[in-house]
Amino acid sequence: MVDVKLIETEEEYNDAIMRLDQLFDAPIGSNEAKEADVLALLINQYEEEHYPIDEPTSEEHLRIRMEETGMKED
């Protein structure tokens, strides 16, 4: 298992994503799968801090829902 640590830079973030991609099909319960779980948490934390996604407004939410259900605006 590779040492994992907090992701603090864009380079570390990119490296973590590449490593997670390598571990994606690791057998459940293996050390590689456990490493993938930790990396996924660290990547998520970094993304929430550096790439936040705002919640849609009520109007945006309605428009998205209408598109999903095939409804059209008149």
Q: Which tokens in the block code for residue 54?
A: 């705002």
Domain that holds residue 34: 10-69
Query: What spatial distance separates the first Cα and last Cα of the chain, rounded to whole Å?
Result: 57
- In a domain? residue 2: no
CB distance 33 to 23 below 8 Å:
yes
- 7-54 pLDDT per residue, tens: 999 999 999 999 999 999 999 999 999 999 999 999 999 999 999 988
Q: Is residue 54 part of a domain?
A: yes
Please state, in angstroms and rounded to a whole number, the distance separating the CA atoms of residues 17 and 66.
Answer: 34
* Residue 23: inside a domain: yes
pTM reported for the whole predicted model? 0.71
Judged by DSSP in three states, 66 sits in helix
